[in-house]
Structure 1
């Protein structure tokens, strides 16, 4: 046990940057040192330190318990990914036993019990596990889902009742499947990415090299372990690169966001921590203008403030710098990145120290449709540089006909590399739709400039009105400029009007109760959107916390549209 109970930042074990053939061997090596995981409560108080050596012992015992339960190599073990020692020991126990762990999400605030049970049923159906493990406190949800699907299920505390097998553990090969990862947008039709040990370790090594991992590094994370950024970036990567980590549960971060920055400030040597844009945004908003950040935080050691999993907002990043510069935070610490589960995680990382770099792109270039100069004033959007391809990864930008485009030409982002998936689990049609000759169609739009990748949006989110293309985030960001709104309050998408024409629709979280004020607000929003699209939109004001999000915290426009059209999202009634 380290000083003050934490596993140490520094260790005498020689650093290896994820150069292992399998994940189990990565844990074997990390367990030879004294680093490990540290779990905290909502106020950031240490609850338990969990050295990698202890994790290894617990995982090996669980592996033998799985064998006693009759599980065989290649079977799936679905596990609700609660941040804690039990999930980690179950996940690695499955790995040691040659099983495929399948991290499943925790409940969210949206949709309630039935929606969560249905989500579990869908993922259990897709992954077809031989065992479903869950935290005891979620027994009501998990047993309901297991019964609907007919899956053997047990809470993970009950594993201690199982006598470990004395049989030999099966050998693991680098080209075998290590685990099954669901992409963040998985809802009705989930896509399980089958990740091999080789793909994983190649990506973990690329990640370690990309952030230029140092002996003095330490990680703080609140990201959920059922999403690739949390699981791969903040659990598996620190382990494979022998780094100690301090964890805050995601739901605790949601209640007390500044506890994240307390951990970064207080824990010795914290240098790496990651978040989507909304995490930085909520922290900036929670800081009172009367409070000096320097009185509470010390962010001077934070050298990699990673940002990914969503469109990176330069205004939000600047607001964070403005809020926490006096606490020692440096803008150059921002480290934009681009990745997706289908590439295991990292595709590109900004070289450390370069910070947020922008390019201004004219709206007509973003939409792919030229606009006569006399038609309207030129408008620009600031696009964030997401860095260079990580080791072993290639990026191409292709046009609609598949041809590779020149620098600064916007098109579909394709990637190829040793950590790109071979395919979706038991879904050859979806695999064939996005994989061609080893290249992955990411579904994202962007451009390359001098070796750096710039992401402009998701192809499927494009709104086409009267033959003109509009990015939903441009509409959303314009509405956000009105007083009282924040990032994530607005969802824009297209719907079909009464006469069959495409019409922009905008759902907006409304915190105003006065009917007359709501009417004025709706009119202001309509005018903002009309200025961008040229036609009058459908604007609906909805209760706060109504818009759905993916497992990574991103706004799900597709789900918002479906819920609105099905009547599950009920707008406020506003007189015309």
Structure 2
């Protein structure tokens, strides 16, 4: 970089400043931003190559948010109105989100289009969510005007672009007074069986969970965060946008689509920003980076990950093999396995339910399958073990219980349904008391996940709703999917396993596998290899269907939706390739 270029390059917000850190101990989210704005930290937005394009101090975010609040009120927005916002990572969304909060409205982050499904699929998805949250406005990035505008029109909602709202007047007006019991926002859970239920989160619930983040990660004055996670998903919105505001942490952002195109740009940004100590990702993010490095030179020639002290992991099943592959790929660049911080959470609990104490890393227990499936241990069959990752201890103020199907609490090391209770659990699903009652009892939330407790640590073994029961034995679809992934040419996300009922009334696993080859003989070979692989690993015969690439549906957070894949398969909307006998 020339001296002239260096002189005009924007400077990032500082990692440290003189403002005493407060761990989200505020009455409302607006109060949290008011306090953060009195310091010099902030958000920093980067382009696809990781170059800083816009430093955005919290003080500037607050000023812009107050302007947006006045604009919204002038447009007729009232307290408790819903404001649907397409969650593009950038200053416009950040200011609009907080502007809605200051105005007493409820922001509702909605997803960006994905690379699969096409325009009509995205319009349909938005329409369903708009029908659910019943907003008075849909605000969207200018470049999505055609699709988002059409979704707004179909849903009967007023739509306006970021540029359009920026042109509106912002007259002086009194802002409403909020308290901790006011709803802060609606978050759409990515759980496929409950979609599209908006999770209603109060200011008190949010700030309690954000304080738990700060204490759980043992935030230090010199901590700085990097994130590529989408802001329409709870881990990206709550963990990597709202938590940095409420806990006063400067944060650097890559857009999610830029990470998808160049995953190693994430690690470049961590390396280049010398103060970076915090960054989160689902397992697949670590997986894709480790895979990309397999064809690269030594990691130490490009990266410096030695200051990364909290490498958070959550949002999907944590796979120890992937974590080890990441350590193998980046250990010589200074990455320490002890930096891994497994966690467990869900939108219905605001976000975090449990966090591993920093420094303990990935802890795995090998559990014999009979203990997970309820099959008598004395049966004459070979022992098979599953590697179950420790997801840490309940965050501050949270309780976790593991229960029988009838609600009876289970002792340590007994697998059952995971329940949690605490101040950050949702007040309920928006306008859906039946769905709320189905998962909440006396303040306790049925997470829908299966797991067990051991010495105060929670181990998650799978989703109750995804379980495949064959001949009275429980099988987790992840086991089948992981088995197929070990075959050459397949990767995580290519496979969906679920149960179907045969004409004879028996339950059997079906495995849909995205196949990229057009050669008929090669498809037959893959089909047989997959069938044999599943039989070898699980002992089960299964239905194997090869399907075109980009066929398997995803949730709003990008995770595989097995329930939706099953429905599309059974209704004939997923059309497998024909396989010669």
| Contact residue 193 and residue 563 of structure 2 kept, 8 A | no
Is the counterpart of residue 62 in structure 1 residue 73 in structure 2? no
Aligned to 1:16: 22
| Contact residue 23 and residue 247 of structure 2 kept, 8 A | yes
Q: Which moved more, 1:119-128 or 1:530-539?
A: 530-539
Aligned to 1:322: 328
Alpha-carbon distance in structure 1 between the residues aligned to 2:182 and 2:375: 46
Is the counterpart of residue 77 in structure 1 residue 83 in structure 2? yes
| Contact residue 33 and residue 246 of structure 2 kept, 8 A | yes
Aligned to 1:447: 452
Once the 2 structures are TM-superposed, how far is the Cα of residue 186 of structure 1 from its aligned partner? 5.2
Backbone CA RMSD of aligned residues:
1.5
What are the equivalent positions in structure 2 for 1:112-123 lying under 5 Å apart?
112-123=118-129
Aligned to 1:207: 213
Once the 2 structures are TM-superposed, how far is the Cα of residue 156 of structure 1 from its aligned partner? 1.5
Structure 2 residue corresponding to 1:479, chosen from 484, 499, 502: 484
Aligned to 1:246: 252
Structure 2 residue corresponding to 1:493, chosen from 498, 509, 531: 498
Identify if the C-alpha distance between structure 1 residues 2 and 468 changes in structure 2 by more than 3 Å, giving closer, same or farther. farther
**1:70-102 alpha-carbon deviations (Å, 9 max, x no partner):** 111111100000000000000000000101000
Is the counterpart of residue 528 in structure 1 residue 554 in structure 2? no
Is the counterpart of residue 154 in structure 1 residue 194 in structure 2? no
Q: Which moved more, 1:475-484 or 1:382-391?
A: 475-484
Alpha-carbon distance in structure 1 between the residues aligned to 2:493 and 2:200: 31
**1:172-217 alpha-carbon deviations (Å, 9 max, x no partner):** 1111001011101258841111100000000000010000001100
Structure 1 residue corresponding to 2:267, chosen from 250, 261, 264: 261
| Contact residue 264 and residue 299 of structure 1 kept, 8 A | yes
Alpha-carbon distance in structure 2 between the residues aligned to 1:109 and 1:547: 12
Once the 2 structures are TM-superposed, how far is the Cα of residue 534 of structure 1 from its aligned partner? 3.8
What are the equivalent positions in structure 2 for 1:199-348 lying under 5 Å apart?
199-348=205-354
Q: Which moved more, 1:279-288 or 1:378-387?
A: 279-288
What are the equivalent positions in structure 2 for 1:169-180 lying under 5 Å apart?
169-180=175-186
Aligned to 1:25: 31
Aligned to 1:518: 523
Alpha-carbon distance in structure 2 between the residues aligned to 1:387 and 1:489: 29
Is the counterpart of residue 50 in structure 1 residue 50 in structure 2? no
Once the 2 structures are TM-superposed, how far is the Cα of residue 230 of structure 1 from its aligned partner? 0.1
Identify if the C-alpha distance between structure 1 residues 359 and 224 changes in structure 2 by more than 3 Å, giving closer, same or farther. same
Is the counterpart of residue 416 in structure 1 residue 421 in structure 2? yes
Identify if the C-alpha distance between structure 1 residues 238 and 290 changes in structure 2 by more than 3 Å, giving closer, same or farther. closer
Q: Secondary structure of 1:540's partner?
A: strand
Alpha-carbon distance in structure 1 between the residues aligned to 2:139 and 2:125: 16
Q: Secondary structure of 2:428's partner?
A: coil
Alpha-carbon distance in structure 1 between the residues aligned to 2:484 and 2:426: 38
Q: TM-score, normalised by structure 2?
A: 0.97
**1:249-308 alpha-carbon deviations (Å, 9 max, x no partner):** 001100000000000000130000000000000001111345100011000000000000
Structure 2 residue corresponding to 1:433, chosen from 424, 434, 438: 438
Aligned to 2:548: 543
Structure 2 residue corresponding to 1:353, chosen from 328, 353, 359: 359
Alpha-carbon distance in structure 1 between the residues aligned to 2:284 and 2:568: 23
**1:450-500 alpha-carbon deviations (Å, 9 max, x no partner):** 000000000000001122211111111112222222222211101122222
Q: Which moved more, 1:185-194 or 1:59-68?
A: 185-194
What are the equivalent positions in structure 2 for 1:126-205 lying under 5 Å apart?
126-185=132-191, 189-205=195-211
| Contact residue 451 and residue 459 of structure 2 kept, 8 A | yes
Q: Secondary structure of 2:460's partner?
A: strand
Once the 2 structures are TM-superposed, how far is the Cα of residue 364 of structure 1 from its aligned partner? 1.5
Once the 2 structures are TM-superposed, how far is the Cα of residue 566 of structure 1 from its aligned partner? 2.4
Is the counterpart of residue 398 in structure 1 residue 396 in structure 2? no
Alpha-carbon distance in structure 2 between the residues aligned to 1:310 and 1:467: 27
**1:483-534 alpha-carbon deviations (Å, 9 max, x no partner):** 2222222111011222222121001122333322221221111112223444
**When the two structures are aligned, how many residues end up with a matched partner?**
575
Aligned to 1:466: 471
Structure 2 residue corresponding to 1:507, chosen from 509, 512, 516: 512
Is the counterpart of residue 381 in structure 1 residue 390 in structure 2? no
Q: Which moved more, 1:304-313 or 1:184-193?
A: 184-193
| Contact residue 9 and residue 268 of structure 1 kept, 8 A | no
Which structure 2 segments of 5+ residues have no match? 1-6
Alpha-carbon distance in structure 1 between the residues aligned to 2:293 and 2:543: 35
Alpha-carbon distance in structure 2 between the residues aligned to 1:110 and 1:185: 19
Q: Secondary structure of 1:5's partner?
A: coil
Is the counterpart of residue 363 in structure 1 residue 369 in structure 2? yes
Alpha-carbon distance in structure 1 between the residues aligned to 2:529 and 2:377: 26
Aligned to 2:106: 100
Q: Secondary structure of 1:299's partner?
A: coil
Once the 2 structures are TM-superposed, how far is the Cα of residue 3 of structure 1 from its aligned partner? 8.8
Q: TM-score, normalised by structure 1?
A: 0.98
Identify if the C-alpha distance between structure 1 residues 472 and 186 changes in structure 2 by more than 3 Å, giving closer, same or farther. closer
| Contact residue 190 and residue 557 of structure 2 kept, 8 A | yes
Alpha-carbon distance in structure 2 between the residues aligned to 1:357 and 1:2: 47
Alpha-carbon distance in structure 2 between the residues aligned to 1:256 and 1:290: 14
| Contact residue 368 and residue 410 of structure 1 kept, 8 A | no
